[in-house]
Structure 1
């Protein structure tokens, strides 16, 4: 796709900001579940700081991921290190799935919360284990490249190489 050696400072920053926001959502998302149960039961939700933080962090994930995708399409991304066809396909589809989940999880949450779409809430809840598995796979693949293949792949997300 390109001859870039690494990602830009902005791409790297967005990667780690989104990673931190996703971890935050996984750890502190329970308050939102309680608020949603209240809405489902026809009660007024307790709009705590944790509920607002979940909403704001979810919107931030969506905006930052869209920004990352825009940069990826306009600036490009470095070539993946040479690997087997199976590894290349796993990386390609793993990234696509991760990006899809990072876009669809906040959209489904917004549809549930602001649109009152019950089925969107159910889909949104399914994204937590999906994201956990995708992130775990992503981290394990990065560690595999760092410690087994020793191909410098992880360095691309630590500092710009161009």
Structure 2
């Protein structure tokens, strides 16, 4: 039995995507507060909750919840096929990149919680590596969207703007 793929993303998938984008951007933009607090905590052994720490923890928790929700929606509804005109190798890369996003959006909050709540230094180190990997993947994703729009002219961005 073949499964029919939707022609586009649902309104909820699109909303969750953009909410996640905003939350991840805020985590990067407001990173200094948690980084400074973590340095102090490692030196003193006191993991005090301040406004920057609470904001980072709340943001990470929301990102984790949204990533799980997005995975459930993806499993239930599916995703649209690659746009016409996209070379097959790039369709496979896009698939792996999306899986990478979900893995990182789940692993980052988990390692962050282990670093802060569990006071596990190795988890903090892993968190920083994963943070760099996510930034690289974000830049690659934005670059791929630009290639779709400007070079291949597939209209890909419309799929994240209008439900299909």
Shorter-chain TM band:
over 0.9
Extract structure 1 runs of 4+ deviating beyond 2 A: 42-48, 82-85
Gaps in structure 1 of 5+ consecutive residues? none
Once residues 45 and 31 of structure 1 are traced to their aligned partners in structure 2, the CA distance between those partners, rounded to angstroms, is 13
What is the TM-score of this pair, normalised by structure 2?
0.92
Q: CA separation in 2, counterparts of 1:36 and 1:77? A: 39
Greater alpha carbon shift after TM alignment, 36-45 vs 147-156? 36-45
Moved more, 14-23 or 143-152: 143-152
Query: 1:43 Cα shift?
Result: 4.2
Cα deviation, residue 131, structure 1: 1.1
1:123 aligns with 2:126: yes
Tell me which of 98, 101, 113 is aligned to 2:101: 98
Q: For 1:90-147, what per-residue CA distance to the aligned partner results, in whole angstroms no more than 9, with x for missing partners?
A: 1111111121111111110011111111111110011222111100111111111112
Q: CA RMSD in A?
A: 1.4
What is the total number of aligned residue pairs between the two structures?
A: 161
1: distance between equivalents of 2:158 and 2:88? 23
Segments of structure 2 that go 5 or more residues without pairing to the other structure are: none
Relative distance call for 1:6 and 1:40 in structure 2 (3 A) is: same
Please identify, of 4-13 and 35-44, the stretch whose mean Cα deviation from structure 2 is larger: 35-44
1:74-153 equivalences in 2 (<5 Å): 74-82=76-84, 83-153=86-156
